[in-house]
Chain A
Amino acid sequence: MTPLLETRGVWQRFGGLIANSDVSISVGRGEIVGLIGPNGAGKSTLFNLIAGVLPPTQGSIIFDGEDVTALPAAERCQRGIGRTFQVVKSFETMTVIDNVIVGALVRSTVMRDARRKAHEVLEFCGLGPRANVLASDLVPSEKRRLEVARALATEPKLLLLDEVLTGLTPVEAKTGVELVRKVRDTGVTVLMVEHVMEIVMPLVDRAIVLDLGKVLVEGKPADVVRDPKVITAYLGDRHAIGA
């Protein structure tokens, strides 16, 4: 079976800075893949290229068997790529339910159906009781959850999660992990950027390590953590001794 997502030789330059160089990765259907790497490794850039915020300088992005490199973000969403933002971008003057309805409208323009769908997604994400609160009144962990809910309402085949677990308390992070697993169990493929190793590694099926804009290593989380290249580039010596 063809992978759900493939990037083929993707480059992204910002002036003299090379954010991504020759990145080729693939994500299979039903997988949870972690994209990790130190700050400035090019993770967020790669995310934006996949979501269609900007076109790559070179290379192509294949989604569900189709070349989507030239498509704008809105159209990629219609094809089934959902995403969250690292810095949350809620619609602050709208209620939580209205935020999610915006996403649901991609699949159904009948308002009653979109509203019902939005309520279902909110329940799924544990935000049901907060439906009629203004998004600006949510606490940070709820806002993260709203990002996920909004993206799920678009019924994505691939969900891109940009550091949704970072900066949460251990309890919040644990419920976050459960949510990601629940999402995968509904048949959605997940590609997630994350910093907190302890949380990510047990969660993902496969990890891809980026460093200086290039793919450094990819494989099973347990192997990746032991890989000497990864340890020197990212995890540090202390972790090597511990492992």
Chain B
Amino acid sequence: MDTAFAERRRRDLIVAVVLAAIAATVPLFVKDVYVQNIMVLTLMWGALSQSWNILSGYCGQISLGHALYFGLGAYTTALLFTKFGVLPWFGMLGGGVISALIAMALGYPCFRLRGHYFVIATIVIAEIGLLLFHNWDWAGAAMGIEIPARGDSWLKFQFPRSKLPYFYFALALACVAWFVTWWLEDSKWGYWWRAVKDNPEAAESLGVVVFNSKMGAAAVSAFLVAIGGSFYAQFVYFIDPESVMGFQFSLLMALPAVLGGIGTLWGPMLGAVILIPLTELTRSYVGGSGRGVDLIVYGGLIIAISLARPQGLIGLFSFKGLAGLFSPKRKEAVR
């Protein structure tokens, strides 16, 4: 019936498989641990941003409080392991479920808010979460939790001697987040979410239950972000409230999607591939002396990209996008 559409869907899937396969072979050539570390972070932030994109990009409910779910994932895994000896794999699942439930509980009052008021609410709630963990003695309070290293183990998801297992897990996570987005994009939920973003009143008149759509998006989004948080805890071995729930994490989840193309399938990954290495490289080459030059460079680049491509870099990846960049009409289109 609609072959062009089916073809585009198939092409997206094939490109993703090819890219994932290429990414999987990179560590065979790149042995440098520092670079491997950057690759792990890039994939992790790509996965997180992809998850954030489900609620904020597709469904249009801009959240700047997703650090809460990231932190909940990290804390659930770390606490279950250190206090009760529960394996991180179960902790990961537990963290995901807890985050999804909390996202829905918070969504119940917050999804009545619109636009900026919703954004402010997400920021405030994440800050409250941060303060609670700061003062929660059982959870290590401001001191944080150290995850005891017991040698390489897939069971305990610990690999003190190698980055590779982390790399492959992060790659798998990025693939899962991408695939979930791909799959949801052409489902009832995907259409409902975009309709809710564009015009809730019209959506309602077409049988879309707006409130349930937002709840669904929030749950999926929070679940995936929490898995990322769990992974991060295992990756760094030590967590405290600031290092997993700070406001900067919420921003770092939003930025790749916003710069790459918010509400698009490829935007978050593209944004992460550009932004995360940039962050790390500016930090190590021009930062580190406390003058914050790295942040100035980083901030400047973000401003440059947003001015040149306010609709996201992903638009460049079509012929029309490339042509548009050089056409005199560009400014008009940008407004």
Contacts and interface: CB of A to CB of B under 8 A. Distances in A.
Nearest to A116: B1
B208 A102 contact: yes
A116 B2 CA distance: 8
Interface stretch (A91-99, A188-196, A227-235): A91-99
Interface stretch (A12-20, A24-32, A107-115, A206-214): A107-115
Interface residues of B, number: 25
Interface in B165-210: 186-188, 191-192, 194-195, 197-199, 201-210
B206 A93 contact: no
Contacts of B205: 51, 53, 73-74, 77, 82-83, 85, 151
A78 to B, nearest CB: 5
A90 interface: yes
A102 B195 contact: yes
A73 B1 contact: no
A94 B194 CA distance: 8
Contacts of A111: 186-188
B263 A93 contact: yes
B207 A89 contact: no
B154 interface: no
B199 A90 contact: yes
Contacts of A77: 204-207
B201 A101 contact: no
B188 A154 contact: no
B326 interface: no
Contact of A98 (B188, B194, B207): B194
B206 A106 contact: yes
B323 interface: no
8 contacts: A73-B204, A94-B195, A102-B203, A102-B208, A115-B2, A119-B1, A150-B206, A151-B205
A-B pairs, 10 with minimum CB distance: A106-B207, A89-B202, A91-B198, A77-B207, A73-B204, A103-B206, A102-B195, A89-B199, A109-B188, A74-B209
Given A89-B201, A90-B202, A105-B188, 16 more contacts: A74-B205, A74-B207, A77-B205, A85-B205, A90-B198, A92-B198, A93-B198, A98-B191, A98-B194, A103-B207, A105-B192, A106-B207, A116-B1, A150-B202, A151-B205, A153-B206
